[in-house]
Amino acid sequence: MLPRELFRKEPERIREMLRARHTEADLDRLLEVDAAWREVLVRVEELKARRNAGSKEIGKLFAAGQREEAEARKAEMGALGEEIKALEARARELEAELAALELTIPNLFHESVPLGASEEDNRVERSWGEPPDFGFEPRAHWDLGPALGILDFERAAKVAGARFAVLRGAGAALERALITWMLDLHVREHGYTEVLVPYLVNSASLEGTGQLPKFADDLFKVEGHDLYLVPTAEVPVTNLHREEVLAGEELPLRYCAFTPCFRAEAGSYGKDVRGLIRQHQFHKVELVQIAHPEASWELLEELTGHAEAVLQGLGLPYRVVSLCSGDLGFSAARTYDLEVWLPGQQRYREISSCSNFADFQARRARIRFKSADGGKARLVHTLNGSGLAIGRTLVAVLENYQQRDGSVVVPEVLRPHMGGLEVIEP
RNA sequence: GGAGGGGUGGCCGAGUGGUCGAAGGCGGCGGUCUUGAAAACCGCUGAGGCGCAAGCCUCCAUGGGUUCGAAUCCCAUCCCCUCCGCCA
C-alpha cells in the first residue's frame, strides 16, 4: 500500500510505475473516489460538529431545568441525525471502494531496478562456482530420484494428485538434513532467531503482506473458516508484529523459520509439470527482517549474502539476478533472485528470492517503531528471502552431485545430519 | 461443542448514558536536587483522518442498532481466560 498523499500529489509517478511494471490498475477511478470521499467527509464532519455542540447544550439545559427548551433542541438534533446517517453511509461506501482500490496498486520500485518487460530483461549481477563437467550425460532429478528409490511421483498422485511428491528413505533424510543444516547456519552464523509459526493464517495477515486481495487464486483456503494454508513463511513471520509499535533500538529483528508452503499454482498449467520444481506443497527456510528504514537497502545485500552462503556451503553453482520492473513481485521494491545451476536441465533455476518491501507491507500491516528519544512512530521496512527453498535445493543436490552410475554423493556439510552417509545408492 | 468471565492508550488498570480521549500506576521525555548517578519531588507524554487555515471529526476487540447524546444499553461476530466434554 502506498501513502494516500502520493496518489494526490504525484499521480504521474504512480502511472509511470504501473507502466514500467507492465501492469494495469484503475488509478483514475481511485483518484475520483478519493476526491468524492473527501468532499462527503467534510460535510459529514461539519454536521457532526453541530450535533456534538447541540447535544452538549441539551445536557446543560436539562441540568438547568429548562425542559421545554431542551425538548425543542432534541427535535432539531433528531433531524440532523437523519441527515448525518445518510451522508455517513455514502462516505463509508466511498471509503470502502477507495480502500479496495488502494490494495490493487503495487509498490514503487527502487531506482536501481532495471527496466524491462519480462524475465528476459533481468540483470545478472554475479555468479559463483562452475557448472560441473561430468564426462557423461547428466540426468534430471525426475529420472535420478525414482531410480534411486528416493522419489515417488506416482504414489503421490494417488494419495493427493498432480504436483505432489513422496520422498522415501535417504531422500526424506536428505530433505530433513537440508532443513536442519540451513536453520542452524542462519541461527548460529548469521544471527537469526528461529521461530516456528502457524501453517494456517487468517485473511488479515495475508492482506498485511500483500497476497490478498489480489492473489486469492494462488492460495488454498480452508472451507468454512477464515484460514488459508501459508504460501510462504513470510506471511506468518512478518505478521508476528502486525499492529505493533516496536522499539527502534531492537531493530533489525531477524527471524528465520522453516515451514511447508502451499500454492495452488493456478495459471501455471503445463509449466514445470515434471519433477519437484513446481509443487502444491514444498518446504522452505525463510529469512525475514524487520528493519529501520535507513538500513533496509544495506540489509537486503546482507540478507542476500546469507542465502548465498547456503549455496556456497553446499557447493552449488549459482548466479544472482536483479529482477527487472516487469518481473518484480507486487509488493517488492527490489528483488534479487538466486538461480542455481541444474545440470539435468542445463539451465539456471530460481531457488531463492530476496526482497526489500520498503514500507509497503509495513503500511498495510501497520508495523511501526519508535525511537527512545521520542518522536512519532514511523513505519518499519520489511525484507525477506528464501534461505532456501528445500525442494529445489534437493533437486540441485541430486543433479549436481550425481555420478555416472546414478548414485549421488552427499555434500559434506549434510553428512553429520544423515548419520554419516556419504553416497546415496539404489 | 457446553457453561461462565473478560477484551480500555507503549504496558497494567479504573470507569455502567452527558462535563470521558478517558482516573491512577508503570514506562518514556524534560526539570529541581546532586561532583555524577540513584532516590525523592515537579511538569509533559495515545493514534488516525479531513481542512489553505482556525479548527473539526473519528477511534475504549470488530460490525450493526437504540438515543438529542454511547467506552457505558441492545444484537451479531471474533479473540483470550476458567471449568466441563472430546482429543494427539
Q: For position A8, which CATH number holds?
A: 1.10.287.40
Do residues A137 and A98 share a domain? no
- Nearest nt to the A73 alpha carbon by C1': B68
A278 Cβ nearer than 7 Å to chain B strand: no
A240 Cβ nearer than 7 Å to chain B strand: no
Task: Tell me which residue has cell 525511537.
Answer: A371
Quick count: other Cβ atoms within 10 Å of Cβ A189? 11
Residues 6+ apart with CB under 8 A from A268: A278
Is residue A227 within 8 Å of A205, Cβ to Cβ? no
Å between A251 CA and B11 C1'? 20
Helical ranges in A261-338 per DSSP H? 296-314
Closest by CA to A115, choosing from A126, A107, A123, is A123
Domain assignment present for A414? yes
DSSP A258-283: EEEEE---TT-TTSS-STTSS-SEEE
What span, in angstroms and rounded, lies between the C-alpha atoms of A206 and A234? 10
A375 Cβ nearer than 7 Å to chain B strand: no
Q: A84 is in which domain, residue-wise?
A: 4-102
Tell me which of A54, A77, A102 is where a domain ends. Answer: A102
The model's pTM: 0.90
A56 Cβ nearer than 7 Å to chain B strand: yes
Q: What is the pLDDT of residue A373?
A: 62
Å between A204 CA and B76 C1'? 20
Domain assignment present for A331? yes
Active-site hit among A353, A363, A364, A399:
A353
Å between A243 CA and B24 C1'? 27
Do residues A373 and A420 share a domain? yes
CB contact burial A108-117 (16+ within 10 A = b; e otherwise): bbbeebbebe
A374 Cβ nearer than 7 Å to chain B strand: yes
Handedness of CA A294, A297, A301, A303 (dihedral sign): positive
Domain assignment present for A391? yes
Q: What is the pLDDT of residue A65?
A: 73
Å between A11 CA and B53 C1'? 25
Domain assignment present for A82? yes
Do residues A142 and A61 share a domain? no
Our answer to whether residue A278 is catalytic in this structure is yes
Do residues A280 and A238 share a domain? yes
Helical ranges in A65-115 per DSSP H? 67-102
Our answer to whether residue A139 is catalytic in this structure is no
Q: What is the pLDDT of residue A58?
A: 84
Question: Letter for the amino acid at A298?
Answer: E
Do residues A77 and A130 share a domain? no
Helix (H) or strand (E) holding A257: strand A253-262
- Nearest nt to the A38 alpha carbon by C1': B50
Å between A208 CA and B55 C1'? 34
- Nearest nt to the A49 alpha carbon by C1': B56
Do residues A300 and A337 share a domain? yes
- Nearest nt to the A95 alpha carbon by C1': B49
What span, in angstroms and rounded, lies between the C-alpha atoms of A228 and A281? 13
Q: What is the pLDDT of residue A205?
A: 87
Our answer to whether residue A350 is catalytic in this structure is yes
Our answer to whether residue A73 is catalytic in this structure is no
3-class DSSP assignment, residue A351: strand
Do residues A91 and A137 share a domain? no
Domain assignment present for A248? yes
Is residue A97 within 8 Å of A31, Cβ to Cβ? no
Locate A79 and state its grid cell: 433531524
What span, in angstroms and rounded, lies between the C-alpha atoms of A170 and A420? 12
Locate A313 and state its grid cell: 556451503
Question: Letter for the amino acid at A102?
Answer: E
Å between A228 CA and B66 C1'? 38
Domain assignment present for A30? yes
Our answer to whether residue A123 is catalytic in this structure is no
Locate A86 and state its grid cell: 445518510
pLDDT lower than 50: segments of chain A:
none
Query: How does pLDDT run across A90-104, given as a tens digit for each residue?
Result: 888 888 888 888 888
Query: How does pLDDT run across A275-295, given as a tens digit for each residue?
Result: 999 999 999 999 999 998 889
- Nearest nt to the A372 alpha carbon by C1': B28
A74 Cβ nearer than 7 Å to chain B strand: yes
Between the two ends of chain A, the Cα-to-Cα distance in Å is: 52
Q: What is the pLDDT of residue A374?
A: 59
**Which residues partner with A374 through β-bridges?**
A371
- Nearest nt to the A75 alpha carbon by C1': B68
A122 burial type by CB count under 10 A (0-12 exposed, 13-18 middle, 19+ buried): buried
Tally the residues of chain A: 426
Tell me which of A45, A68, A102 is where a domain ends. Answer: A102
Å between A202 CA and B3 C1'? 28
Tell me which of A102, A136, A151 is where a domain ends. Answer: A102
Question: Letter for the amino acid at A392?
Answer: R
What span, in angstroms and rounded, lies between the C-alpha atoms of A313 and A63? 80
What span, in angstroms and rounded, lies between the C-alpha atoms of A284 and A108? 27
Do residues A77 and A155 share a domain? no
Active-site hit among A263, A349, A364, A368:
A263
A63 Cβ nearer than 7 Å to chain B strand: yes
Do residues A144 and A22 share a domain? no
Active-site hit among A21, A334, A368, A392:
A392
Residue A361 belongs to a domain with what CATH number?
A: 3.30.930.10
Handedness of CA A347, A348, A350, A352 (dihedral sign): positive
What span, in angstroms and rounded, lies between the C-alpha atoms of A233 and A43? 45
Q: What is the pLDDT of residue A372?
A: 65
Do residues A289 and A348 share a domain? yes
Is residue A361 within 8 Å of A209, Cβ to Cβ? yes
Do residues A84 and A170 share a domain? no
Do residues A128 and A95 share a domain? no
List bases, strand B, within 7 Å of protein CB.
Answer: 10, 18-19, 28-29, 47-51, 55-58, 64, 67-69
Domain assignment present for A108? no
Closest by CA to A208, choosing from A186, A230, A191, A190, is A230
Q: What is the dihedral of CA A252, A258, A259, A265, to 10 degrees?
A: 80
The number of folded domains in chain A is: 2
Give Cα separations from A295 to A192, A216, A251, A292, A376 (angstroms).
17, 32, 9, 5, 18
Domain assignment present for A329? yes
For B27, which residue's CA is nearest its C1'? A372
